Structure 1
């Protein structure tokens, strides 16, 4: 029995004037898996993420969520479909604590229309505990006092708090040290284990090979291939990234660009 992917892109095109940023892009992201999205600079990764998130509207193709095609015209459409994007800059407010950041724009109010601090703190702590987070001692810590790895933890836990079905992580380990990188990657795996479809955008092959179940490669705005991590070597993935060729994987020209 084939499981319906949480997210599937079919033949997605996006142009900016005369520049064709994406051409017939296919992608599959399944619940409970980490799908790595890789490619050289200019391959179209950022544009693709913005199309999924509703920042850019696609020109052609389909975005299917749980097997049903949806129009994603703005970020609110994506949010309603369960998409959460953790951008590289994290979009966290240094002057707020962990709870304030996790509920920013979606605060709980009491019957007197004051902030329900107790319920928000309880739910924030539950989200952190569900990911077995031990690096943040208090949900009342100011984000300004947190390390890079701890900030990533807050951003990922926020996605759990709002029961997102698809979480896109944009270079989550950039500028992190070895220990913090290991902590964040463990968190990525735990997020997938909760049944979330995780899309990891990364240039770091070590990170990709460590946590990915599936690897989708973009080359000059097209899908070079999507392959199972267990079936490829680092050399083969790098070849796809740098040349767009997939001969080493035994894929025919018609299969290259198909999702496996």
Structure 2
């Protein structure tokens, strides 16, 4: 596939949106965050992910629930798609109810071979602007892989002894609410027969962005609600709806950890 997706490099998409007080209250309820979320209040870090949700018609969706490929994202002929990680810098606050402008650009498409076979990584760079100008610079890494015959977990990464630990429930209800708030129709998060029978996972998959947001809120709570200067996260191992998941932190590093003591997502708070 080398060079196949070169025409997608530099492709740009622009859009405007708003996050309403109602959306913010619903996300707070889903994450278990307290506070008042009024018009004009600061939007917590990462909550801009509720904006610019897919608007593809039902006839334009692929079998996995995502919009069919070949529009903004390249038509990679590998069935599985995952948000592998991301990096963000925060420059100015976004506020609930204000108009936000996002410019997205595909900056990199690379092919690799790993334990699961061929993989294609697509990096998308976003710039988000609000009333005070540039608010967020973000890079998202999306990975495409072939559909496996069976689930093969990645090599285990043991969690270090934490400074703090917080149990979190990631059951079917929380996964549904998060999917609804982000208008994410990827069936691995809510359709158990599809997740296990088609994509060969042992259960419903916990969203990477949900884990990143839970970790962000836990870190913010231990810093008096402060906003970070930057934040980076990377998926290490899938987490499932039956996992006994905990949020753990050591210094500026945080992670979701399953009941076997293995890291599922790791993240880092940057000042």
Shorter-chain TM-score: what band? Answer: under 0.3
**Of Structure 1 and Structure 2, which has the larger fraction of its residues in helix?**
1
**Greater length-normalized contact order (CA 8 Å, ≥ 6 residues apart):** 1
**Of Structure 1 and Structure 2, which has the larger fraction of its residues in strand?**
2
TM-score (ref. length: structure 2): 0.21
